[in-house]
């Protein structure tokens, strides 16, 4: 019945059935593949026909009916709706792509920063994990250029001289610093950046980056769990262990300076990694995006 009504209307309406109408109407076929930016989308002038159409008074505008959806093909419906709306439908994304993020992962010694990052690296290939420069000796299994850039103390200090580091610190007698160039290069390519720093480093980065970066604090479920993890790692002398435990006690007070806290419970590394992933996803969906500039 609707179909009959539409076609009888079309037949009775000179504007709908006339060759002129069809010429104008078919000229509204839009190139749906041409992308435009969100600003263009809202500020661009309508196509010429639409511009003159929208200037017409109501009595001048051609009268026509939109066919019932079940009686017309999708392209026909699209053209009729575009004509009725007075502008074409854009297929460019409504939201611009999210800004590249800088994600700072921190926490006390032995909490599992490296373990979380190692796992995150496997599940999120699009992230760029900044390789920190350090003057500390290589631990068993660590690879130069992958886990850290292992440099001598002299080399490290000359990097500081040349202002090549975003942040650096003397951590338990060894220098650790973040090369700026890597961050710039990968952000320019649209990658999110992950920085792994101790709590002292995170505080310095907060001063430099403010709220333009996301700060995540990793904790163990309890102090006992953290100490056991450090003992099991067998990488520290007894004196070094004591220093790290005392420092961890102080550092936990700084958790309130971070944006998120993630518990890395014993045997629950996967849960911690999933939570970090969820934080990244939520940050990507934020309306007010962070914008980090190095
Ligand atoms: N969820 C977990 N459950 C059990 N063991 C873990 C967990 N996370 C990490 N570990 C282990 O705890 C030890 C310390 O982890 P890791 O070296 O990653 O800590 P870190 O925070 O990077 O330490 P540092 O700052 O001293 O380098 C490692 O032996 C690691 O395998």
In whole numbers, what is the pLDDT of the chain averaged over residues? 83
ipTM of the complex: 0.98
User: Residue ranges of the domains in the chain?
Assistant: 2-85, 102-130+180-284
* CATH level 3 topology of 102-130+180-284: Rossmann fold (3.40.50)
Q: Find the range with the poorest average confidence among 7-21, 125-139, 270-284.
A: 7-21
Could you write out the three-class secondary structure of 6-70? HHHHHHHCHHHHCHHHHHHHHCCCCCCCCCCCHHHHHHCCCCHHHHHHHHCCCCCCCCCCCCCCC
| Nearest atom of ligand 1 to the alpha carbon of 264 | 1
Pocket test for ligand 1, best of 104, 106, 107, 114 (most atoms within 8 A of CB): 114
CA gap 187, 200 in Å, rounded: 24
- Tell whether the model's pLDDT for residue 276 goes beyond 80: yes
Split at pLDDT 50, 70, 90, the class of 192 is: very high
Structure tokens at 107: 């926490």
Catalytic residues: 139, 233, 244
- Tell whether the model's pLDDT for residue 208 goes beyond 70: yes
CA gap 7, 10 in Å, rounded: 5
CA gap 65, 2 in Å, rounded: 11
Split at pLDDT 50, 70, 90, the class of 58 is: low
Pocket test for ligand 1, best of 106, 108, 115, 241 (most atoms within 8 A of CB): 115
Q: Residue range 259-274: average pLDDT? A: 97
Residue 46: the pLDDT is: 45
Split at pLDDT 50, 70, 90, the class of 68 is: very high
102 contacts 213 by C-beta, under 8 angstroms: yes
């Amino acid at each position: 019945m609707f179909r009959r009504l539409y076609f009888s209307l079309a037949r009775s309406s000179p504007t709908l059935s006339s060759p002129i109408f069809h010429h104008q109407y078919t000229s509204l076929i839009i190139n749906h593949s041409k992308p435009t930016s969100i600003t263009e989308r809202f500020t661009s002038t309508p196509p010429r026909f639409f511009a003159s159409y929208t200037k017409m008074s109501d009595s001048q505008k051609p009268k026509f009916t939109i066919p019932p959806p079940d009686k017309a093909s999708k392209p026909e419906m699209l053209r009729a709706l575009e004509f009725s709306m007075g502008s074409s439908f854009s297929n460019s994304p409504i939201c611009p792509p999210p800004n590249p993020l800088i994600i700072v992962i921190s926490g006390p010694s032995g909490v599992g920063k490296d373990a979380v990052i190692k796992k995150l690296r496997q599940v999120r290939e699009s992230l760029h994990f900044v390789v920190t420069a350090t003057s500390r000796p290589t631990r068993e299994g660590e690879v130069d250029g992958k886990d850290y850039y292992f440099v001598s103390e002299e080399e490290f200090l000359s990097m500081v001289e040349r202002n090549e580091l975003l942040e650096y610190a003397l951590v338990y007698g060894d220098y650790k610093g973040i090369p700026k160039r890597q961050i710039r290069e990968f952000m320019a390519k649209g990658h999110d950046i992950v920085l792994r720093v101790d709590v002292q480093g995170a505080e310095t980065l907060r001063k430099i980056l403010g709220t333009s970066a996301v700060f995540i604090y990793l904790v163990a479920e309890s102090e006992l769990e953290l100490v056991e993890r450090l003992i099991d790692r067998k990488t520290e002398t007894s004196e070094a262990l004591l220093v790290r435990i005392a420092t961890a006690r102080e550092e936990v007070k700084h958790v309130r300076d971070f944006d998120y806290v993630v518990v890395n419970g014993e045997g629950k590394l996967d849960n911690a990694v999933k939570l970090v992933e969820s934080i990244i996803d939520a940050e990507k969906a934020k309306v007010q995006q962070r914008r980090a500039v190095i």
